Structure 1
Amino acid sequence: MQGERYRYKKLAKEDSEIRLLHLHAGSWQDQLSSHLEHVQLSQNTRYEALSYVWGDLNSVCTILLDDCEFEITKNLGAALRRLRKENEERVLWVDQLCINQVDEVEKSTQVALMPQIFKNCVEAVFWLGEIQTTAKPGMECPIDVANGPNAQDGIAVALDIIRQLESGDHLRDMACFQVVEDKTITVSPTYMTGLATLRQIMTLPYWERIWIVQENILPKRGTVVLGSCSAPWTSFANAAAMWTKHVWHCCRQLADSLPLEAKDILLDFTKKLAPLMTIARSTNGSNVCLFDVLQQTRNRKATKGCDKVFAVIGLVTDWLEAAPILPDYTLDEFQVYSMVAEYFINSKPRSLRFLMGNHLRRPQFPSWMVDWAAEDHSPYPYELGWGERFYGFYNACLGRPVVAKRHSASVMLFNGFTVDEVHAVGDSMEVHDWKSAVPIYDSWYRLTEVDTHPAKPYIAGGDVENALWRCVTGNVYGETLAPTYRKAVAEDFALYKKFEREMREAKEGQWILSDELLPFMLVIPASARNRRLFITKRGYIGMGPLATQVGDIVHVLLGSQIPFVSRKSAVCLEDEVNEVELPTFSFVGECYVHGVMEGEIILEGSLEQETIAFC
């Protein structure tokens, strides 16, 4: 893609030198013209940093760079044309132009500097792209237009909706919503176009890109630019935070009464922004670990798989007493993901927590190595992180650190215990409202015989009804809006039964139940939805991944506070020390097994610790 007529001058690596783009002044129709300047990051040069999506690498346009023709992607060309000033230069840092993209060594060095580049900029410009609008080239329509939005200009109306959501007003007091009845609202007719445009805005490729995470979080201030319109980045973040507050707190019933399409649009808006807000909060005076940012950005897109790691390591502030991972574009995906897995195994607290969550992977990756580029496209991807979210509530390994040894490129040996084999599996909880969850609950009651023998003794103590509700909730109780959680106690069972009764009375499409049932509305979508109940041969009841099947094995591994469902593979290893064949397994996913979560199988002493091979 890079034009052959231009030759980059080498950067001084030891001086943290970068290039800045001087975008020459010009009118809308003029050819884009620019030149590059070498500066040291320590010089405090004033510049803006551009956050954008490259776009199709085969869809290019030509600009002048130091009087030489240079090809860039059309999306970058559109951004530069919008950002160019008529009467003065604009100084920008733009990765596509300021980094020699064919020099892997330079790229590794410059990517490592990107966090500082975005921290040092006077402002970041978040170029979302172009969508159809009635605004003419060069026309400005900032979010705080004095006379309100033009009803024909979808972008301006969408931005006005964001402004209203940001305001903190209750839903019934916002102009974009119309109260139909006392407890029912709909979208005001004059804002229908804006809501449809908001959906377009949030489906732009920009929001899926992994690089935008550090680019949005690290700058001191930022402006969102969409075609000819602009808005402060804080408006987007604040609007998403306020909508979440309305949905879960002050305006829950009204929010739930919105038409389904409107709810979906606003839910998508908050879901796209939620990980950015979560990471931003954690970077504000707190230690940020690699695991946290990798999990929060799991479903974002990158052209190269290595960038699923390299794009976020600049946000890490605590490497947990292990050597930091640095960008290195001479490595391939397998090498990078292997390096990440071994980093987690060897860093404090020597835990297997990194294996919690999405277990999708491409065939070339072993199950103990997370394929960070394998995206989860289920309707509720953020709710699949049950094990990651509630990890600290359990202690299946009694706090013992991981014991692991690399056997080969694709095989890792772990120390642990074999608990039992899966004997029966129940229906999967793949539902979109409480009403559709009822038949799944009924099937679980039948599978465990709770419907006919609720007082039947359970293998780990108590009865099967107690074991079942603890499995459904993950033995966790949501306490407040924050939300914060605690371990469930016996006294919570009465409220759980009320939750079950109200769930059975829910209407189609209903997610919001009585306020007092919020503790279980917070927990169960993560602990049970997109999961499957199972029973082992010895009678343990558990909640595992959707892929759990009869014949799978439940393992407790040292270093993991949560058990795993594993599947035996056809490959065996030669154990030369003991002169036996060692079976190999693949991870299916983490699971809750009642009576195993507090280290009971280790404490009772009936199982021997063994070496278990995973491929």
Structure 2
Amino acid sequence: MFERYPGTLPLTRDEIRLIRLLPGTWTDGIQCELVYDTLKNVRPYHALSYVWGSSKKTKRILLDAHPFAVTVNLESTLRNLRSQTQDTLLWVDALCINQADDLERTHQVNLMGSIYRSSKGVLIYLGDGIGRREYCQSSKLDSTAPRTTVFSNTSEDMPHIERFMQPNALHASATLEDGESDKRMQNTVNVFSFIRTLAWVEHMVDIPWLVSNNDDPDIEKALLHMFESLRRFMHAPFTPWWGRIWVVQEVVLAPKVTVVCGTVSAPWTMFAQAASQCLHHLHHCCSEKMEHLPRDLLNVLEDFGERIVDIDNLRKTFLEETTQTSSETAILEPRDCSSPDQRSLVSLLRRFRGRKASDPRDKVYALLGLVQPSSHRPPLIPDYSLSSAEVYRLAALESMYSSASLSVLTIDVARKYRQDLPTWVPDWEAPGDYGYNTRIDAMGIYDACVEYPVDPSTVTARCKALTIDGLYLDNVRDCGVVMLSDGSETFRETMKQWVSLKRRFGVISDPGDTDKALWRVFCADVMFSHPQITESGEIFRQTKDKDELMFVTWALKSKRSPFFDRKIPLRDYISATAIQWMQIIDFESAVLEGKSEDIGREFFLCFPEEKERKSIINDAISKRCSDQGQSGVSQEDWSRLVEYATLTLPETEALDWREQVKDAVASDQSWDKFLIRRNDLRESMQNRLRAWKEVPWMHVLDLGRPKLLQNLGRASKIDRIPYDVQISVVDRSIVSATKARRFFITWEGHVGLGPADLKKGDALCLLKGGRTPFILRSSDYQNLFCNNKTCSPGDLRV
């Protein structure tokens, strides 16, 4: 693709080239000049982060007055960034490095971290607008430049926000069909406006058109169009930048970042704030109210948030470590202090494994510049003479040795595209999963065998075999189906199957009261946090006994719960205190929903003592009379109501009546006498039913609920947390723990959550340096050897 490179002067050790992009009108040809500088005394410049594009489609520019072919995407980038009045100083890899000189290329690639860190800022160029596939631009240039739109992430953006907060805002969106550049730019402005609005609103449900259940087909079409635009904005082939592995370093190390799409621009902070807010709304305050949106649309929002927050979290770490004084502050979700070091090799590899690289080895090498240096091991150095399989194997071993743990084996090692990798080596070309990343982050709280650090003496690798000291525990007896979806119905039915499996096999050797601790298994003993629950900034923590009450709230009220339809008795799987909380919720629900057939039963369960029942109903009647100004209730009626409503349940008396009928038939007693008794009983039952309906149950609830909460003791603090918050926290915790997992039970009664490809007969083992137990399986070429000391994994599952 490239013609003779005009930059013939060799570069010294810390010397770099820059380009001076000369000013020009929109239709003028692109002209650049090369400038030489050292990193120690470099003049202010911006580094460019972009996608090269296809080398088969090029355009010519002038570089040092020489014709030079560049990709269509780079030419478009320079045209959109060019000023009409002044020079623009840039660092652009395709122009500042002689791509035909392998030595210079290797040397400059090693300096790239310093180049981006030393820049005035990084300009991210995503393309010339949303609506076309990348690199399909017309060869005909528009005669006039498209209008420029600049978002500042300040109050100056309010016109865009106010427009987008209108109920009919989506009708202004352009179509997605290929067309004029002004339509494409309007589409881009709409996406930027949506992102700016997400960064601004207090709650996502405050956006009128986002939560409207309007059946208007035009509104529905516009909504789908908006989400499709956002999806295209974040994905190849329309916007491939977000999927590149090298852009992580380019954003993380920059002192300031600006996102540019065509002639629309915004600071990175706007995207970071919108992404953080979006994930918070989806997982917490707005989760239930957003359920009316199709799952595909919610996935678009979650993907948008995760892609940006993942980079921004790492960016914040670097800014803090370098005590950055820039006025720009990264907007980030807080991270739990117990999560793995974000800058360890294994953490970086798994977090960004879904990003693309033209050379598979760059899936590792592109991240080495971000790795926290180890004090006891030399860093892994790029070596392009090695095969991809060998690079991946060395990266796995280096991850173990540098972290002194088996964290790399918690990666989904079974997910492979390549067939030349050992079973214990992750395939970094295989796509990752953000939900999986969240679950792996939480593994920092476990300590099954972490007191034994990993080093070359405890973990050795020869060819494809990995030998680790460990301890055999048990074998898998049976396992449930895989949790394939977080959709309410599928999720609920899968969990029902898991519970039935537990009920079927029970506990054989009683390793603990696993029935009462089943809720901990479902959330993997990890509870996510919520701003209304904690102020410590932690994202997740190990479960506490008090969390069981939140689980009960979720079990009774969430549609994902296996206990939601009450076909499985929840009380069989919770503690005595949790049963008390369940009874409070059930009684409250029966009263608030007016379920007359349930109120009495729940009332008697909550207040089994007749004396207490009489006292509460007596006080409730008194309160109702006082509230309504009715003091003329006779003592006889008052006493009758209290007596009838507290002695027995109406349905209990009906059962007594049936028993008396059976007795009369069995003893062949006089039917005349029996009929007299029947009439008396009928009148008594009618009086009781009438009295039961006259009880002021709302007053009973108001008076009785505080007494019930007192019985919970310190656990009564649960009542301070709104039900929707409890449900949201437990929902996120359980969904994160169970996604793509399956429930299993061993021969000795141990229960847990394992990988999707777990099978009967797999071995449960403890491995030195591992935070959790591991599942091991013998392979065709090597039998699993466990003698309570050493485990040699064939197929390894975590």
Verify: 1:235 aligned to 2:445, yes or no.
no
Displacement after TM superposition at 1:192 (Å): 6.9
- 5 Å-filtered alignment, 1:414-429, equals 414-429=468-483
Please say if residues 108 and 328 of structure 1, whose CA atoms lie closer than 8 Å, have aligned partners that are also in contact: no
CA shift digits 1:176-234 (9 cap, x unpaired): 656669xxxx9899877554432321222111111111222222222211112112221
Once residues 145 and 188 of structure 2 are traced to their aligned partners in structure 1, the CA distance between those partners, rounded to angstroms, is 14
Matched with 2:772 is: 562
Verify: 1:246 aligned to 2:248, yes or no.
no
- 5 Å-filtered alignment, 1:401-416, equals 401-402=453-454, 403-416=457-470
1:117–1:459 distance in 2 versus 1, CA, 3 Å: farther
Further displaced range: 141-150 or 479-488: 141-150
Matched with 1:199 is: 231
Read off the aligned partner of 2:366 and give its amino acid letter. Answer: A
Matched with 2:304 is: 269
1:281–1:614 distance in 2 versus 1, CA, 3 Å: farther
Matched with 2:711 is: none
CA shift digits 1:236-290 (9 cap, x unpaired): 1111122223334444444444455543332232122121122123334257333
Once residues 493 and 210 of structure 2 are traced to their aligned partners in structure 1, the CA distance between those partners, rounded to angstroms, is 35
Please say if residues 554 and 561 of structure 2, whose CA atoms lie closer than 8 Å, have aligned partners that are also in contact: no
Matched with 1:137 is: 145
Matched with 1:590 is: none
Please say if residues 417 and 607 of structure 1, whose CA atoms lie closer than 8 Å, have aligned partners that are also in contact: yes
Segments of 5+ residues of structure 2 without an aligned counterpart are 133-141, 164-171, 175-185, 322-340, 532-536, 563-721
Matched with 1:580 is: none
CA shift digits 1:143-174 (9 cap, x unpaired): 35786477542211221122222224434554
CA shift digits 1:582-614 (9 cap, x unpaired): x369xxxxxxxxxxxxxxxxxxxx962125255
Identity %: 29
Count of aligned pairs between the two proteins? 566
Matched with 2:428 is: 372
Verify: 1:11 aligned to 2:11, yes or no.
yes
Match of 1:353 among 400, 407, 410: 407
Match of 2:452 among 400, 412, 418: 400
- 5 Å-filtered alignment, 1:148-227, equals 148=160, 151-152=173-174, 153-171=186-204, 173-174=206-207, 177=210, 194-203=226-235, 204-227=239-262
Verify: 1:321 aligned to 2:354, yes or no.
no
Once residues 250 and 387 of structure 1 are traced to their aligned partners in structure 2, the CA distance between those partners, rounded to angstroms, is 21
Match of 2:530 among 480, 494, 497: 480
1:24–1:354 distance in 2 versus 1, CA, 3 Å: same
Once residues 775 and 291 of structure 2 are traced to their aligned partners in structure 1, the CA distance between those partners, rounded to angstroms, is 36
Verify: 1:534 aligned to 2:534, yes or no.
no
1:99–1:365 distance in 2 versus 1, CA, 3 Å: farther
1:563–1:91 distance in 2 versus 1, CA, 3 Å: same
TM normalised by structure 1 equals 0.83
Matched with 1:466 is: 516
Further displaced range: 109-118 or 171-180: 171-180
Once residues 71 and 732 of structure 2 are traced to their aligned partners in structure 1, the CA distance between those partners, rounded to angstroms, is 44
Read off the aligned partner of 2:423 and give its amino acid letter. Answer: S
Q: Counterpart of 2:516 in 1: which secondary structure?
A: helix
Match of 1:612 among 792, 795, 798: 792
Read off the aligned partner of 1:86 and give its amino acid letter. Answer: Q
Please say if residues 486 and 735 of structure 2, whose CA atoms lie closer than 8 Å, have aligned partners that are also in contact: no
Please say if residues 467 and 541 of structure 1, whose CA atoms lie closer than 8 Å, have aligned partners that are also in contact: no
Please say if residues 24 and 83 of structure 2, whose CA atoms lie closer than 8 Å, have aligned partners that are also in contact: yes
CA shift digits 1:3-24 (9 cap, x unpaired): 24656443212xx111112223
CA shift digits 1:379-436 (9 cap, x unpaired): xx11223662222222222511224454433222211122223232211111132322
Query: How large is the RMSD of aligned CA atoms in angstroms?
Result: 3.2
Please say if residues 26 and 86 of structure 1, whose CA atoms lie closer than 8 Å, have aligned partners that are also in contact: yes
Please say if residues 204 and 278 of structure 2, whose CA atoms lie closer than 8 Å, have aligned partners that are also in contact: no
Please say if residues 396 and 562 of structure 1, whose CA atoms lie closer than 8 Å, have aligned partners that are also in contact: yes
Q: Counterpart of 2:149 in 1: which secondary structure?
A: coil
Matched with 1:578 is: none
TM normalised by structure 2 equals 0.65
Q: Which structure carries more helix by proportion?
A: 2
1:490–1:166 distance in 2 versus 1, CA, 3 Å: closer
Once residues 224 and 491 of structure 2 are traced to their aligned partners in structure 1, the CA distance between those partners, rounded to angstroms, is 32
Matched with 2:126 is: 128
Displacement after TM superposition at 1:67 (Å): 3.2
- 5 Å-filtered alignment, 1:325-344, equals 325-344=380-399
Once residues 99 and 51 of structure 1 are traced to their aligned partners in structure 2, the CA distance between those partners, rounded to angstroms, is 15
CA shift digits 1:3-58 (9 cap, x unpaired): 24656443212xx1111122233333333232322211111311110011122233
Read off the aligned partner of 2:407 and give its amino acid letter. Answer: R
Q: Counterpart of 1:569 in 2: which secondary structure?
A: coil
Read off the aligned partner of 1:411 and give its amino acid letter. Answer: A
Once residues 549 and 12 of structure 1 are traced to their aligned partners in structure 2, the CA distance between those partners, rounded to angstroms, is 59
Please say if residues 558 and 727 of structure 2, whose CA atoms lie closer than 8 Å, have aligned partners that are also in contact: no
Read off the aligned partner of 2:792 and give its amino acid letter. Answer: I
Read off the aligned partner of 1:198 and give its amino acid letter. Answer: L
Once residues 8 and 561 of structure 2 are traced to their aligned partners in structure 1, the CA distance between those partners, rounded to angstroms, is 64
Q: Point out the structure with max Rg over C-alpha.
A: 2
1:310–1:513 distance in 2 versus 1, CA, 3 Å: farther
Displacement after TM superposition at 1:529 (Å): 1.5
CA shift digits 1:308-361 (9 cap, x unpaired): 22222222344353222333434432333233223223224x101122233223
Once residues 101 and 745 of structure 2 are traced to their aligned partners in structure 1, the CA distance between those partners, rounded to angstroms, is 55
Please say if residues 198 and 274 of structure 2, whose CA atoms lie closer than 8 Å, have aligned partners that are also in contact: yes
Matched with 1:110 is: 108
Displacement after TM superposition at 1:486 (Å): 3.0
Read off the aligned partner of 1:333 and give its amino acid letter. Answer: S
Matched with 1:499 is: 554
Once residues 488 and 147 of structure 1 are traced to their aligned partners in structure 2, the CA distance between those partners, rounded to angstroms, is 45
Segments of 5+ residues of structure 1 without an aligned counterpart are 573-582, 586-605
Read off the aligned partner of 1:334 and give its amino acid letter. Answer: A
Please say if residues 320 and 347 of structure 1, whose CA atoms lie closer than 8 Å, have aligned partners that are also in contact: no
Matched with 1:80 is: 78
Verify: 1:523 aligned to 2:756, yes or no.
no
Once residues 80 and 561 of structure 1 are traced to their aligned partners in structure 2, the CA distance between those partners, rounded to angstroms, is 50
Please say if residues 45 and 121 of structure 2, whose CA atoms lie closer than 8 Å, have aligned partners that are also in contact: yes
Please say if residues 394 and 561 of structure 1, whose CA atoms lie closer than 8 Å, have aligned partners that are also in contact: yes
